[in-house]
Amino acid sequence: MSGAPWLSWIKNERREEDSQFMKLQARFNALPPAVAALTAFGLGSATAMSAVLVYKRYGRRIRNSDWITPKLLTRKRWLRGVATSVGDADNFRFFHTPALGGYTWPLKLRSIPSLSKDLKDETIHIRVAGVDAPEAAHFGKPAQPYAAESLEWLRSQILGKTVYCQLYRRDQYSRIVAQVYLAPRILPGFLFHGKNVSAEMLKAGWGVTYEQAGAEYGKLGKSEFLRLEAEAKAARRGMWEGGKMVETPSQYKRRHAAAATLGEAEAAKPRSGRLTPKKSWLRSLFTRS
């Protein structure tokens, strides 16, 4: 009984590979020693350089926002990581986990810190691009309606989960503005992206389209963001449940900024009325008599 056809095919392939290797080795041995040494050095240098480039792209972890260079923003670099905390409804803390950094299988050698003290200076502050969520209470200012609900929604979507961030720019608070995507359920994340967090927020009715200077909308574009917002309003989802126009986060900020400016101006105004000079004790004594 003859053997399986694929066994003979494998043997022929091996013979062909051995033959090609012997030819290359013979050609290399025929080179002058100086040329052979130079060739070996060049190949070694190219290999080392390739290893460095691969490490810089897929192995080096970006610890925090200070490590993000202008080149990374210009190239709109993609980063994979985990949302470790969500303090506001449109921004969060992101722990970068590069593909060859040892944080994922089958190369899992490290774990993401869970304590706040261990995460200090080890996360990137991400501002979700293209959307504005209701403002929480800050610096003595009251929270906007639905601020707590918007925050809870974002936490339910990303906290403790793997997300993909496409970096765009650094804002006035040194946060990194990025389009944020959830990890796909089945397909590999390095080839496919899951749902866009900004788009999902608008669909759910927990944010509005950010239209101030420096707005970034990614491949979806501003028109799609506005369409999703209008759709949520019409369906009375999230903060649109009452069917009424609500004060947007940008209007809220402008109102409080104007109130603060007006308060400072009022405090700086001179008091009206004539000032009465304070009497000395000697003058008071003669006045009584």
Dihedral pair phi/psi, residue 111, rounded to 5°: -125, 155
DSSP string, 121-169: TSSEEEEETTEE-PPPPBTTBPPPTTHHHHHHHHHHHHBTSEEEEEEEE
Helix axes 197-204, 147-158, angle to 10 degrees: 140
Say how many C-beta atoms besides its own lie within 10 A of residue 127's C-beta. Answer: 22
Task: Specify which residues 182 forms β-bridges with.
Answer: 163
Phi-psi region for residue 135, left (φ > 0), alpha (ψ -120 to 50) or beta?
Answer: beta
What single letter denotes the amino acid at residue 263? Answer: G
Respond yes or no: is residue 77 known to be catalytic. no
Choose, from 60, 63, 80, 135, the residue flagged as catalytic.
Answer: 135
Burial class (CB in 10 A: 0-12, 13-18, 19+), 274: exposed
Q: Return the sign of the alpha-carbon dihedral for residues 266, 267, 268, 271.
A: positive
Say how many C-beta atoms besides its own lie within 10 A of residue 143's C-beta. Answer: 14
Say how many C-beta atoms besides its own lie within 10 A of residue 209's C-beta. Answer: 21
| Token pair in block for residue 126 | 């991400």
Choose, from 80, 93, 175, 224, the residue flagged as catalytic.
Answer: 175
Respond yes or no: is residue 135 known to be catalytic. yes
Choose, from 13, 80, 93, 127, the residue flagged as catalytic.
Answer: 127
Respond yes or no: is residue 175 known to be catalytic. yes
**What amino acid positions are annotated as catalytic residues?**
127, 135, 175
